Amino acid sequence: MTRSSHVSASHAAVAVIGGGEFGRSLAKAVAHSAGSVLHYSRSGNSLEDAEVEGTVHATANLADLRNAELLFLAVPSPYVDDVARTL
**Tens-binned pLDDT, residue by residue, of the chain (87 aa):** 344 444 443 467 999 999 999 999 999 999 988 888 999 998 877 676 567 777 888 899 989 999 999 999 999 999 999 999 988
pTM of the model: 0.80
| Burial annotation 23-50 (CB, 10 A radius, 16+ → b, else e) | bbebbbbbbeeeebbbbbbeebebbeee
- pLDDT at residue 34, rounded to an integer: 85
* DSSP annotation of 64: G
Q: Alpha-carbon distance 1 to 18, whole Å?
A: 21
Dihedral angle at the C-alpha atoms of 10, 14, 19, 24, nearest 10 degrees?
-110
